[in-house]
Chains A and B, each alone.
Chain A
Amino acid sequence: QKEVEQNSGPLSVPEGAIASLNCTYSDRGSQSFFWYRQYSGKSPELIMFIYSNGDKEDGRFTAQLNKASQYVSLLIRDSQPSDSATYLCAVNTPLVFGKGTRLSVIA
C-alpha cells in the first residue's frame, strides 16, 4: 500500500513568519511530487511540483525534496492570513494524497 503521511495540524504561525510543512512517502520509486492548497469547501489548487532532489523556489514558496529520506517539504515565507488553508502533499501518477496539514496564519 503506497502511503503519503502528513501531520494533520493545525500548524499555527504568526503573520510574516515561515511556515514549514512536511510530508513523507512510502514508495521509494516515486518520481513526482506535488503540493496543493485547499480552502474549505473548494477543490485543490496546485502550488508547486518538484521532480529532482534539492530545492525549487517560486515566489514565497519553496519545495524541498530528499528522495533518500523519502521526504518532501513546503516552506512558505512571509506567511499571510490568506495562506490559511489545508495543504495536501501528493506523490506520483496517479496521484496519491496525504491527508493534509491545516495551516493557520495568525494576524
Chain B
Amino acid sequence: GAVVSQHPSWVICKSGTSVKIECRSLDFQATTMFWYRQFPKQSLMLMATSNEGSKATYEQGVEKDKFLINHASLTLSTLTVTSAHPEDSSFYICSARDGHPRYFGPGTRLLVL
C-alpha cells in the first residue's frame, strides 16, 4: 500500500513555543491530506482537510490561527501548532489518499510542558 511519513515522531516543548509537524506521501501524489488528533483512549478526530495550493478547511471547534496548515506541494503538508499549551498535548496523525482508501502516517506525539 501507499506510504505516508511524518516527522518528527516525538516532540517535547515548553508552553508557548510553536511546533511544526511534516507529513509526506512517499510514493504517490496527494492533492488532499487530512490532519487528525487523538487523545488517550479516544478515537481520531478530524482537525482539518489540507488541499494542495489552497487554504485548509477546518472542522468546527478547531482554531485555524492556532493550527496552521500549509500544503505547498503534492507530497508535503505541514501542521504548525502555534503557542502550544499543555492541553495541546496529543497524538497528531496525518492521512493521505491514494485513490479512495486512506493511509495514515505513523503519527507525532506532542508533549507540551
Same complex origin of A and B? yes
B43 interface neighbour in A32, A94, A99, Cβ under 8 Å: A99
Q: In the complex, A49 Cα to B102 Cα: how many Å?
A: 9
Q: Contacts A88-B43, A100-B43 known; A43 to B105 CB distance under 8 Å? A: yes
Interchain nearest-CB distance for B8 vs A (Å): 14
Q: List 8 A-B contacts (CB under 8 A).
A: A36-B104, A42-B107, A44-B104, A45-B104, A46-B104, A49-B100, A95-B34, A99-B43
* A97 adjacent to chain B (CB < 8 Å): yes
Q: Are A98 and B43 in contact (CB under 8 A)?
A: yes
Interface size class of B (residues with CB under 8 A): 10 to 19
Separation of A94 and B36 alpha carbons in the complex (Å): 11
Contact B43 A43 (CB under 8 A): no
A48 and chain B: residue at smallest CB distance: B101
| Complex alpha-carbon distance, A99 and B39, angstroms | 11
B49, A94: Cβ atoms closer than 8 Å: yes
Q: How far is the CB of A40 from chain B (nearest CB, A)?
A: 10
Check if A43 sits within 8 Å of B107, measured CB to CB. yes
Contact B43 A97 (CB under 8 A): yes
CA distance A88 to B93 in the complex (A): 15
Given contacts A94-B46, A95-B34, A100-B43, contact A43 B102 (CB under 8 A): no
CB neighbours of A90 from chain B (8 A):
102
Give the interface of B toward A (CB within 8 A). Answer: 1, 34, 42-46, 49, 91, 93, 95, 100-107
Given contacts A49-B101, A95-B34, contact A42 B44 (CB under 8 A): no
A99 neighbours in B (Cβ, 8 Å) = 42-43
- A34 CB to nearest B CB, Å: 7
Contacts A46-B102, A88-B43, A98-B43 supplied; 12 other A-B pairs, CB < 8 Å:
A43-B93, A43-B106, A45-B104, A46-B101, A46-B103, A49-B100, A88-B44, A90-B102, A95-B34, A95-B44, A97-B44, A97-B45
Most central of B43, B45, B46 by chain A CB within 10 Å: B43
Shortest beta-carbon distance from A41 to chain B in Å: 8
CB within 8 Å for A34 and B107 given contacts A46-B1, A94-B49, A99-B42 = no
